[in-house]
Amino acid sequence: MSNEAVSKPVVLIAEELSPATVDALGPDFDVRNVDGADRAALLAALPTASAVLVRSATKMDAEAIAAAPLLKVIARAGVGLDNVDIKAATTAGVMVVNAPTSNIISAAELTVGHILSLARHIPAAHGALAEGQWKRSKYTGIELYEKTVGIIGLGRIGALITARLQAFGVNVIAYDPYITSARAQQLGVTPVSLDELLEQSDFITIHMPKTPETTGMIGAEQLAKMKPTAFVVNVARGGLIDEDALHDALVARTIGGAGLDVFVSEPPTGSPLLGLDNIIVTPHLGASTDEAQEKAGVSVAKSVRLALSGELVPDAVNVAGGVIDPYVRPGIPLVEKLGQVFSGLASHSPLTSVDVEVHGELAAYDVSVYRLAALKGIFTNVVSETVSYVNAPLLAEQRGIAVRQITDADSPEYRNVITLRGALADGSQVSVSGTLTGSKQVEKIVEINGYEVEVPFAKNLIVMLYTDRPGIVAVYGSVFGEAEINIAGMQIARHVAGGKALSVLTVDSPVPAGLLASVRDAIAADLMVEIDLTE
């Protein structure tokens, strides 16, 4: 194996994924395969892995995550994350990503398939004819035309189902506590309460996430409100419908029938539902199309590339944020650097709170990513853990640091300014502001602790505060010169002559702590810190 191959980050593919997934990763990684269902083999392969790609069979629990000290991202080529310990991953600073939109078309089409199969008895009719029975009258069905379909949960899949079913001439009603009237009207859907939906629908399909609140949301009480001819379909998550209550309703024929693709326990071995003649069941096929599998693999491969390059990933499930606007994105590295400068300025006392202020045109955008970037920068050089966008908020919470984000469209001096402002345990405050200037979007510091400056970022910065008086620059210039510390740039700011002056130096190499202390003593500085930025 070449040295080049050894130096590449290891991406571990733990289950069978499409060739397009590997192609989407590109040539920058050492791609290895392991059988994720073989626990011993998985644990043996994890210590060198920077990323792991899984489907549903590989258990990435706390033990597996602990076995992977280099791990930065776990990618699930699909939607469900029952096999990933998200809390353990977050604590370890490991990003967890999935492919939330990869199967939405497949799931919507399967739902329509279940509805049509229930309306026309397609599986039962096929089974009878395959056994030589010609029973046309037994399998007389109903048309969808002018029937009412109730959709519980009008998200992306619900909207796709709506569009497809409207071609059949159905009336679509929906229950979704978070949908606006304008959005419902746009989709051609009538919003109703859950009780109204249950009472009016000829077909009901549920598309809700599984939470403690939604588990069993269709139980005996809800089934009793349905028409005796109505059908209920669940291709979302097992347990949204109470299976015992559903069994009772089907046996008693108080509803027309049901279609299930998902179950509380999978496979549903021994479930009494499987023996009924008024239910259609499929083995969790919602995402089981060639197209969905390929889209899922390619999606998470792209997310892995972003994660391993240190970028934010829109599909990360344990990182706040979402799609990042192109106008917002250039500010992310700026805010990270501001965070590092901020932590250097605040190093003399524990931090109790930090405000991330965004001033200017950026205030009109979703800039929640800047909060993550600021925290990542603040903790990068002050904690022993590897700091990422994932665990930075957790590090702040563990230390009792209150974090706020403030936006303000007013920015008199620059088009946009981002300010980090914090309170320290000793009662003092620190602040640092930055902006991007010019057509090349040069990152600059424009304020430190209330003093206006304009300093480009450099790897090594020295910030000092002292009483303004003649000869100070000559003193520290001479000390640094004798130590062969080259000053690449310098700016001095003050409020009034003879008051306090803030000096910011950029130097070409780190300054030994002892030398810095001697300069501080020589000029009687109130503040003297060196800040070495980490890329």
Instruction: Give the integer Cα–Cα distance in Å for 139 and 125.
Output: 6
Domain layout of the chain by residue ranges: 3-100+291-308, 104-281, 331-532
- Give the closest residue to 434 by CA, choosing from 422, 447, 421: 447
**Catalytic (active site) residue 207:** no
The pLDDT score that the predictor gives to residue 1 is 42
- Comparing 147-161, 171-185, 243-257, 313-327, which segment has the lowest mean pLDDT? 313-327
Strands 148-152 and 95-97, how do they pair? unpaired
Peptide linkage before 123 cis (omega within 30 of 0)? no
In this model, does residue 339 exceed pLDDT 50? yes
- Give the closest residue to 10 by CA, choosing from 27, 30, 36: 30
Average pLDDT of the residues in 259-271 = 95
With beta carbons less than 8 A apart as the criterion, state whether 334 and 434 touch: yes
Angle at 70 between CA 69 and CA 75, to 5 degrees: 105
3-state DSSP assignment of residue 466? strand
CA 365 to chain centre: 18
- Give the closest residue to 162 by CA, choosing from 177, 175, 149: 149
Catalytic site residue from 55, 114, 121, 284:
284
Q: Produce one character per residue of 303-328: b if its CB has 16 or more CB atoms within 10 Å, e if not.
A: bbbbbbeeebbbbbbbbebeebeeeb
Q: Please name the amino acid found at residue 156.
A: R
Model pTM? 0.63
Class of the domain covering 104-281: alpha beta
Q: How confident is the model at residue 135 (pLDDT cuts 50, 70, 90)?
A: very high
**Catalytic (active site) residue 156:** no
Which residues fall within 8 angstroms of residue 526, CB to CB, at 6 or more apart?
Answer: 465, 466, 500
Q: 379, exposed or middle or buried, with CB in 10 Å at 0-12, 13-18, 19+?
A: buried
The pLDDT score that the predictor gives to residue 267 is 92
Question: Could you tell me the CA-to-CA distances from 268 to 252, 272, 281, 286 in Å, in that order?
Answer: 21, 9, 10, 16
Three-state SS string over 431-454 comes to EEEEEEECCCCEEEEEEECCEEEE
Instruction: Give the integer Cα–Cα distance in Å for 40 and 264.
Output: 28
With beta carbons less than 8 A apart as the criterion, state whether 89 and 60 touch: yes
Which residues is 433 bridged to in the sheet? Answer: 419, 447
The pLDDT score that the predictor gives to residue 506 is 92
The domain made up of 331-532 has a fold known as 60s Ribosomal Protein L30; Chain: A; (3.30.1330)
Instruction: Give the integer Cα–Cα distance in Å for 388 and 319.
Output: 10
Residue spans of alpha helices (H) in 134-269:
156-166, 181-187, 194-200, 220-224, 243-252
Interval 388-423: pLDDT, tens: 777 788 888 878 899 999 999 999 889 999 999 999
Bigger pLDDT: 15 or 380? 15
Catalytic site residue from 237, 305, 359, 421:
237
Same fold, 104-281 and 331-532: no
Residue 461: other Cβ atoms inside 10 A: 23
Which residues fall within 8 angstroms of residue 223, CB to CB, at 6 or more apart?
Answer: 232, 245, 246, 249, 254, 255
The pLDDT score that the predictor gives to residue 150 is 98
Class of the domain covering 3-100+291-308: alpha beta
Catalytic site residue from 146, 266, 361, 413:
266
In this model, does residue 145 exceed pLDDT 70? yes
Q: Please name the amino acid found at residue 231.
A: F
**Catalytic (active site) residue 415:** no
